[in-house]
Amino acid sequence: MTTSLDLTRIDAPAVPPLSGQLDARAVSAWFGGHKVLDRVSLTMPAGQVTALIGPSGCGKSTFLRILNRMHELVPGASLAGEVLLDGVDIYEPSRRLTAARRQIGMVFQKPNPFPAMSIYDNVLAGLRLTGIRANRRAKDDLVEECLVRAGLWKEVNARLRQPGGALSGGQQQRLCIARSLAVRPRVLLMDEPCSALDPTSTRRIEETIAELASDVTIVIVTHNMQQAARVSQQCAFFLAEQGTPGVIVEHGPTEAMFSRPLDSRTADYVHGRFG
């Protein structure tokens, strides 16, 4: 039986939840017999943006999907290691999949709003999927809050009942961010969220990331080195060499990774000499 929750009292829109720290410990991953990640360990600090960089095929997106239990849904996929959210393993048998997804949201490379569903209902879709009910006032307040936080409210507040699929690509991506925020995640994962967008939309998404980072821990995969330098405080460089599984070559503060990398391969990558 679904419990009716009044979000105006239980999850006050003006007070987002505290962001959480993610810790990956010795994470390895396989697709069938093919190993794609080898004992990757990384701390993603609370309230910061961590960028995952590296050439295509080095396991960045696989690692990102492991962080909210999407990898296990791929037929034949397997993994080893631990993923901790504030010290609690999200893969513990007693932990429900929906609980992990609620705390650790995902925004994909291609915007994926429900095209025939209204902008208003798109924002609230996650509540239905997680079994949360709210009264009309709470829903109205939550939709406005999430669209404001996603930088979209001023553009769409007069047409909330129009289909989400009618928005531009950049607006659709911000709508997907608003939808993710509605369930109060502590971490938001982003898999190349700007790769299909024009420069103006990319800039707006980056502004949104900067505005969200104090409330939500963000982990972003990007192939754009300038973007990684602009939006992140921490950076991890993934690499898979000569058919070997992906590993982290180096990680640390973004400014140091770009200006004083410890590994020559990192320097070569961030300065565009390969990849």
Average pLDDT of the chain? 90
pLDDT of residue 67: 97
Q: Is the pLDDT of residue 174 over 50?
A: yes
pLDDT of residue 132: 76
Mean pLDDT confidence for 160-167: 95
| Domain extent listing, the chain | 7-270
Tell me the CA distances in angstroms from 111 to 96, 154, 175, one per residue in order. Answer: 26, 20, 8
* Amino acid at residue number 110: K
Question: CA-based Rg of the chain, rounded to a whole angstrom?
Answer: 19
Q: How far is 145 from 148, CA to CA, in rounded Å?
A: 5
* Residue 244 tokens, joined: 């070997």
Using DSSP, state whether 123 is helix, strand or coil: helix
3-class DSSP state for residue 135? coil
Residue 181: count other Cβ atoms within 10 Å of its Cβ: 25
- pLDDT tens figures, 112-130: 999 999 999 999 998 877 7
Which tokens belong to 61?
Answer: 């997106």
Q: Rounded to whole angstroms, how far apart are CA atoms 129 and 180?
A: 12
Whether 223 shows a pLDDT value over 80: the answer reads: yes
Give me the DSSP letters along 39-98.
Answer: EEEEEE-TTSEEEEE--TTSSHHHHHHHTTT-GGGSTTEEEEEEEEETTEETT-TTS-HH
* pLDDT value of position 17: 59
Picking from 203, 131, 214, the residue whose alpha carbon sits closest to that of residue 173 is 203
Tokens 């996929």 correspond to what residue? Answer: 77
Say which amino acid occupies 74. V
Q: Please give the DSSP secondary-structure letter assigned to residue 133.
A: B
Domain 7-270 CATH assignment equals 3.40.50.300:
yes
pTM over 0.85: yes
- The predicted-structure confidence for 69-122, as pLDDT tens digits, reads as follows 999 889 999 999 999 999 999 999 888 888 888 899 999 999 999 999 999 999
CA geometry: angle 103, 21, 39, nearest 5 deg: 100
Is there a contact between 132 and 183 (Cβ–Cβ < 8 Å)? Answer: yes
At 12 the pLDDT is: 39
For residue 262 the two structure tokens come to 């410890």
Whole-angstrom distance, CA of residue 7 vs CA of residue 89: 27
Mean pLDDT score, 30-41: 96
What gap in Å lies between CA 253 and CA 242, rounded to an integer? 28
Q: What is the share, in percent, of the chain residues with pLDDT greater than 70?
A: 93
